[in-house]
Amino acid sequence: MGLLLFFNGGFMLIAAVVSGIYKDGATLDIFLASMVSVFIGVFAMFTTRGHKKEVKRKEGYLIVTFGWLVMSVSGMLPYLFSGAIPGVTNAFFETISGYTTTGASILDDIEVLPKGILFWRSLTHWIGGMGIIVLAIAILPLLGIGGMQLFAAEAPGPSADKLHPRITDTAKRLWYIYVGYTAAETLLLKLAGMSFFDAINHSLATLSTGGFSTKNASLAFWNDQPLIQYIVILFMFLAGMNFVLSYFAFKGKVQRILKDEEFKYYGIFILLFTVLVALVIYFKANVPISDYHPMVLGEGESSFRHALFQVIAVVTTTGFVTADFTSWTPFLTIFFFGLFFIGGSAGSTAGGIKVMRHLLIIKNGLLEFKRTLHPNAIIPVRYNDKTIKEHIVYNIIAFFVLYMLLFIIGALGLGAMGLDFVSAIGGAASSLGNVGPALGSLNPVSNFNGLPDIGKWWCGFLMLAGRLELFTVLILLTPYFWKRT
At 235-270, the pLDDT tens digits run 999 999 988 889 889 888 888 888 889 999 999 999
Q: Is 319 helix (H, G, I), strand (E, B) or coil?
A: coil
| Cβ pair 347, 242 in contact under 8 A | yes
Q: What is the distance between the alpha carbons of residues 75 and 198, in angstroms, rounded to a whole number?
A: 21
pTM: 0.88
Longest Cα–Cα distance in the chain: 73
Look at residue 380 and tell me whether its pLDDT is greater than 80.
yes
Mean pLDDT to the nearest integer, 414-441? 94
Choose among 95, 103, 48: nearest CA to 68: 95
Question: Cα–Cα distances in Å, from 105 out to 283, 438, 445?
Answer: 32, 11, 11
| Cβ pair 113, 82 in contact under 8 A | no
Task: Please provide the DSSP assignment of 229-245 as one string.
Answer: HHHHHHHHHHHHS-HHH
pLDDT at position 286, please?
63
How do residues 338-374 score in pLDDT, each as one tens digit? 999 999 998 888 989 999 999 999 999 999 898 888 8
**Sign (positive or negative) of CA dihedral 367, 371, 377, 380:** positive
Look at residue 151 and tell me whether its pLDDT is greater than 70.
no
Q: Which residues pair with 382 in a beta bridge?
A: 387
Mean pLDDT to the nearest integer, 163-178? 70
How do residues 91-140 score in pLDDT, each as one tens digit? 999 999 999 999 999 999 999 999 999 999 999 999 988 876 666 555 55
Q: What is the distance between the alpha carbons of residues 331 and 337, in angstroms, rounded to a whole number?
A: 10
Choose among 268, 248, 265, 267: nearest CA to 257: 248
Q: What is the distance between the alpha carbons of residues 420 and 415, in angstroms, rounded to a whole number?
A: 6
How do residues 50-84 score in pLDDT, each as one tens digit? 777 666 777 778 888 888 899 999 999 999 999 99
How do residues 293-321 score in pLDDT, each as one tens digit? 444 456 788 889 999 999 999 999 998 99
Look at residue 146 and tell me whether its pLDDT is greater than 50.
no
Please count the CA atoms within 13 angstroms of the CA of 447 that sit on its side-chain side: 19
pLDDT at position 289, please?
45
Average pLDDT, the chain: 87
pLDDT at position 136, please?
56
Higher local confidence (pLDDT), 430 or 51: 430
pLDDT at position 15, please?
96
- Of 49-63, 368-382, 420-434, 452-466, the range with the lowest mean pLDDT is 49-63
pLDDT at position 163, please?
43
Q: What is the distance between the alpha carbons of residues 276 and 262, in angstroms, rounded to a whole number?
A: 21
| Cβ pair 319, 103 in contact under 8 A | yes
- How much of the chain, in percent, has pLDDT values that exceed 90? 59
Q: What is the distance between the alpha carbons of residues 104 and 446, in angstroms, rounded to a whole number?
A: 10
pLDDT at position 138, please?
57
| Cβ pair 285, 331 in contact under 8 A | no
Q: Cβ atoms within 10 A of the Cβ of 249, count?
A: 15
- Of 10-19, 459-468, 469-478, the range with the lowest mean pLDDT is 469-478
Look at residue 153 and tell me whether its pLDDT is greater than 70.
no
Mean pLDDT to the nearest integer, 150-175? 51
Choose among 163, 86, 138, 149: nearest CA to 117: 86
**How sure is the predictor about 168, in pLDDT bands with cuts at 50, 70 and 90?**
low
pLDDT at position 243, please?
87
Q: What is the distance between the alpha carbons of residues 244 and 349, in angstroms, rounded to a whole number?
A: 12
pLDDT at position 158, please?
28
**Sign (positive or negative) of CA dihedral 431, 435, 349, 182:** negative
Listed in sequence order, the residues at least 6 apart from 477 whose beta carbon sits closer than 8 Å to its beta carbon are: none
- How much of the chain, in percent, has pLDDT values that exceed 70? 88
